[in-house]
Structure 1
Amino acid sequence: MKKIKNFFTVRLLINLLILATAVFALILTYIHNQNSDGYILGDWLINYQDGGFKRRGLSGSLFFLIQDFTGLKLNLAVYFFQVNIICGFFYTYFKIIKSKKPDLLYLSLLLSSIGFIGIFNCVDYVGKKEMIVFFIFTVFIKYLNDNQLTKTKEYLICFALLIAMFFHEITFFFTPYFLIGLYLKTGKFEFKRYLKYILVTIIPAFLIFFFGKEINEGHSIEILKQRGVILTDGIFFWDFNERKYIADHFADYRLYAISFLISLIHVAFYLKYQNGRKLLSIVLLLAFLFSLPLFYLAIDWGRWLYIHLIFMIILFSLSLPKRSEDEVLVFSDFNSKNIITLLFILFSLMYRVEMSGRGFTWEGFIYRVFISPIELLNKMV
């Protein structure tokens, strides 16, 4: 029993979670692409060929170019790119954790309903473009953690953010996390340094806002059909007032307040045991407030919450103690901190946050693993 107890370390569970989440994301992304999902595959195929410059259009034009040169099917070209981004993100994050000594409280954030476990709760939340920004941010944090963020590498990070802006404009709304990461590492305010990160996102945002055309200028479906992709729903068919949709479904959307409050308490409990928690709490709050236009402009409220927590999980890894020979056991001291943490984990596995729709349900990970299969068997019998 002692050997078994010593085997279950926090690091082991995090590594298993990283592997399981990566594999799950890769499999589900492949299925969505093969089925020509109009929201996942379709988002990557927005292009400049239909009407010219527009938001998110760089990706589609890039994949058209790849298809023209290689003859590869568009859904496979997109998937190969997604595989590299997804694997790059999870591998880089694994490398960071490998050099750190995570505790049970840090693991609890990954097991939050809007942490890594959120992908298992919402199977349609895979293959999204924000994975590009996750990957860039993880590489950035690894450079900071290893004291390897040279001027050249910093300019490369900024260039990557510039390109990411033309893949998806949400990059702009989560740039503050890069500034927070720099401050946590250096402990000083460096406006001139921050200016690079601000300019490479705000200039493209300005160009997209004032000069960007509609995602579908009327010929996208026809262009994609000629290139072997037939879409019957998704982003190219998106034509309704999102603010009106939120108002009409307010009974469901107001439940996001419950999920937000739970996550807020969870993060606050985590920050209670961190150095400089007061300042960190303020800048994280400001980062969240900076993203509020997303909640006004689009219906994916759960998605925005998910992105925020993933950024925090990566950011907090910077402050984890360096790895030592002693590993943190899952079943170690049952003090008040660990008991509360275990309660957070148990509760997080019980509820679910939808990406757009119901903001809180009891159909969480435990429900999907232990109850849904039984209900399915009963229907079959």
Structure 2
Amino acid sequence: MTVLEKIISRFNSKIFIYFLIAITAIYTLVFTFLHNIRSDGYILGDWLVNYQDGGFKRRGLSGSFFFLLQDITGIKLNILVYCFQVIIISLFFYWYFKLIQYKEATFLYLSLLLSSVGFVGLLNCVDYVGKKEFIIFFLFAAFVYSTDNNKLTRIKEFAFCLALFIATLFHEVTLFFIPYFLITLYLKTGKAELGRYLKYILAVFIPAVLLLLFGKEINEGQSLNILKERGVVFTRGIFFWDIDERQYISDHFKEYRLYFLSVGISVFHIGFYLKYLKQRKVLSILLVGAFLFSLPLFYLAIDWGRWMYIHMIFVIILFALFLRKSNSVYASEVIILNKKFYVTLLIVVISLVYRVEMSGRGFTFEGLLYRTCIAPLELLNKML
């Protein structure tokens, strides 16, 4: 055995995953705090869309909820929102940790987390932090854990459906990722249970239809004044948003077409992973279906990188189902220097090199390696 083989054979993917969970959790919480304390109009602002200005509308439940809490406690909205974000983000990382805790990690599975639109995506693009999708990340991680450990009782199922109903009122994006919940159920039982699936479908479609039929605009004209009276002043963000997003994508298609390159890399990455799964044919069809179901998001909204990122996080959680169970919290597959290892390593290197922005630039060479190795040296050179 060569020196390289000895080093590689001792590499523990599980410990590295734990480290990555801790780093991304801390990073997410810190930068979410910074966004909130500065009254960011996109991240904090999205949580403060409310029913007080004009009535029922998409995303409005969260703002009205925090208004009620402020009336009861007298605490600043920035702090109330951040406390809620801390709970939701922490619950996501907690349930994801619980999901993989007694599973045998592989280097190939670790590569998914290191994808430019996986956990590393949070480190590459600070605009991903603190957003409402962490609600469905948390719900899905808890759902997969319960399903995988045979703890999904009938009462829990109804609780998850109720949570999904509420999550859709917090952000309508929940609707477009419901297929992953159905895929999880199918993979666990091995059979189609249409009646069972209907509960989950109705849980997101009913509020979505209500929003479509009766929902008002996010800003009906008084939101900024209402928020100012409550101690929050925005100068930009969601309440100022007045862009034809389809036209914007068309006008900036030179930048947006680079997303196809990033999607291609991610498809190859997931396809290579599926090559080593027994249920790869069925799962490939199901994942394509889940992606196609989300296509309206890419047509209606400019955050293409964000939709890719959400898909990858769901895939990372879902694929934990296929990891072997173990009695050790440090269980990690021994790495062998073969074709699988070298292709996986190449994917990891490529993933660390490029960056996918939330909207606009779909591919740049400003990935994690650039941000940690090159950018600091450039800054130091300017200072000197």
TM-score (norm 1): 0.98
Partner AA of 1:187 in structure 2: G
Question: Does 2:64 correspond to 1:61?
Answer: yes
- Does residue 327 of structure 1 match 2:331? yes
Identity, % of aligned positions: 63
The equivalent residue for 1:26 is 29
Which of 111, 115, 123 is the equivalent residue of 1:112?
Answer: 115
Q: Describe the SS at the equivalent of 1:349.
A: helix
* 1:333-358 alpha-carbon deviations (Å, 9 max, x no partner): 10110111011101100000000010
1:145 positional shift: 1.2
- Give yes or no for the alignment of 1:208 onto 2:194: no
Aligned mates of 2:185, 2:236 — CA distance in 1: 41
Which residue identity lines up with residue 158 of structure 1 in the other structure?
A: C
- 1:232 aligned onto 2:235: yes
1:377 aligns with 2:380: yes
Cα offsets for 1:52-93 (capped at 9, x unmatched): 000000000000000000001000000000000000000110
Runs of 4+ with deviation above 6 angstroms: 1-6
Matches within 5 A, 1:151-230: 151-230=154-233
Aligned mate of 2:364, from 331, 344, 361:
361
Select 1:265's aligned residue among 263, 268, 290. Answer: 268
CA distance in structure 2 between the aligned counterparts of 1:329 and 1:323, rounded to whole angstroms: 11
Q: 1:97 aligns with which of 96, 100, 109?
A: 100
Residue type matched to 1:153 in 2? K
Separation (CA, whole Å) in 1 of partners of 2:327 and 2:343 = 25
Work out whether residues 133 and 171 of structure 1, in 8 Å CA contact, stay in contact via their aligned partners in 2: yes
Q: Give the number of aligned pairs.
A: 380
Deviation at 1:240, TM superposition (A): 1.3
Deviation readout 1:84-116 (Å, 9 max, x if unpaired): 000000011011111111100000000000000
Residues 104 and 333, structure 2, Cα contact 8 Å, conserved in 1: no
Residue type of the alignment partner of 1:18: I
Contact 1:5 1:329 in 2 (8 A): no
Q: Which runs of 5+ in 2 are unaligned?
A: none
Q: Deviations over 1:222-262 (max 9, x none)?
A: 00000000000000000011111111111100000000000
Letter paired with 1:117: V
What residue is the counterpart of 1:280 in the other structure?
A: 283
Distance 1:226 1:324 in 2: 55
Matching residue within 340, 351, 355 for 2:343: 340
Residue 328 of structure 1 deviates from its aligned partner by 2.6
TM-score of the superposition, structure 2-length normalised?
0.97
Cα RMSD of the aligned pairs, angstroms, is 1.4
Measured in 1, the distance between the counterparts of 2:370 and 2:162 equals: 43
